[in-house]
Amino acid sequence: NAGVMQNPRHLVRRRGQEARLRCSPMKGHSHVYWYRQLPEEGLKFMVYLQKENIIDESGMPKERFSAEFPKEGPSILRIQQVVRGDSAAYFCASSPGANYGYTFGSGTRLTVV
C-alpha cells in the first residue's frame, strides 16, 4: 500500500515560470491537504480539497497560486510566475475522511532561481 506520493521531489524553476506540483493520495483517501514549509519555519496550511471541490483555501496566497483535485488523477498545486519567495518545501497530506488521520507525503522542494 503506497503512501502519499508527491512528484517531483525536487523542482527548479526560473523566476516567471510556472511550477506544477503533483500529489497522489493514499488509496482510499479522498481528502487532500497542501502545506508549505518556508526555511526555518513550521508547516503552514494552504488548502484543503476533496474530489472536484475546494473546501478551504484560506491559506493560499491570493494571486498566482491555485489547486485542484480532479475526479481522476492526482491533486495539482500550480504556482504561476514563480518568484524567489516561493522557494519552499511543499507537503501534501491525505486522509480517508473528516478525521485526524493525516498521512504526509515526502514533499516537493521548489527552488526558484
Partner 1 sequence: DQQVKQNSPSLSVQEGRISILNCDYTNSMFDYFLWYKKYPAEGPTFLISISSIKDKNEDGRFTVFLNKSAKHLSLHIVPSQPGDSAVYFCAALRELQGAQKLVFGQGTRLTINP
Task: Catalog residues that contact partner 1 under the rule CB under 8 A.
Answer: 4, 6, 9, 31, 33, 35, 40-45, 48, 55-56, 91, 93, 95, 98-100, 102-107, 109
- 41 or 72, CB closer to partner 1? 41
Asked if 107 contacts 35 with a C-beta cutoff of 8 angstroms, the reply is no
Of the two residues 18 and 56, which places its CB atom closer to partner 1 in the complex? 56
CB 87 within 8 A of CB 111: yes
Looking at the Cβ atoms of 66 and 103, the one nearer to partner 1 is 103
- In whole angstroms, how close is the CB of 48 to partner 1 at the nearest point? 5
Q: What are phi and psi of 85, to 5 degrees?
A: -70, -10
Smallest distance, Å, CB 81 to partner 1? 27
- The smaller minimum CB distance to partner 1, of residues 16 and 61, is found at 61
Q: All 3 cell numbers of residue 10?
A: 525536487
Euclidean distance between CA atoms 93 and 6, whole angstroms = 10
Name every residue whose Cβ is closer than 8 Å to that of residue 60 and which is 6 or more positions away in sequence.
46, 47, 66, 67
SS3 of residue 46 by DSSP: strand
To partner 1, the closest distance from the beta carbon of 113 in angstroms equals 20
Q: How far is the CB of 6 from partner 1 (least distance, A)?
A: 8
